[in-house]
């Protein structure tokens, strides 16, 4: 087996693991009434979330956790200066709720991001090598 074969195997494995963790995050969001309520407001029980809205929730959770990771004061200042850009129902209390109560979702997103970086790395390595 040569090196390019190993790179392709690692790339395929990274894609499969990325898809698995991304699917777990999507399932977590779709089964959670809190995120449906943030997105759809009071009609959240009769509406289901499509793929684009699930990706928006993943982006929102990532954005909130990144801001909180660098500085909790920045998160407070962000919500004092403006409303959240993705959803109108998100404020400081809901963002703190997301950080404290949805750590499993954040774990799925972090692992998914790790495998996404590996996909990019192995793709570049494949074309360079």
The full set of domain ranges for the chain reads 3-128
Per-residue pLDDT of the chain (129 residues; tens, 9 = 90+): 899 999 999 999 999 999 999 999 999 998 888 887 777 665 556 567 788 888 988 998 998 999 888 887 788 887 777 766 666 778 888 889 999 999 999 999 999 999 999 999 999 999 998
Per-residue HEC secondary structure of 28-51 comes to HHHCCHHHHHHHHHHHCCCCCCCH
Give yes or no for a contact between 41 and 49, defined as CB atoms under 8 angstroms apart: no
- What is the reported pLDDT for 46? 57
- What is the reported pLDDT for 73? 78
């Amino acid at each position: 087996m040569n090196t390019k074969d190993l790179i392709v195997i690692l790339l395929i494995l990274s894609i499969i693991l990325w898809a698995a963790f991304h699917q777990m995050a999507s399932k977590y969001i779709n089964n959670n009434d809190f995120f449906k309520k943030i997105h759809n407001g009071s009609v959240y029980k009769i509406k289901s979330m499509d793929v684009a809205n699930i990706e928006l929730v993943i982006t929102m959770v990532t954005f909130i956790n990144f801001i909180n990771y660098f500085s909790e004061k920045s998160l407070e200042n962000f919500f004092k200066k403006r409303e959240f850009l993705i959803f109108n129902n998100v404020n400081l209390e809901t963002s703190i709720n997301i950080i404290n109560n949805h750590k499993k979702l954040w774990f799925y997103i972090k692992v998914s991001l790790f495998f996404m970086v590996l996909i990019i790395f192995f793709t570049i390595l494949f074309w360079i090598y």
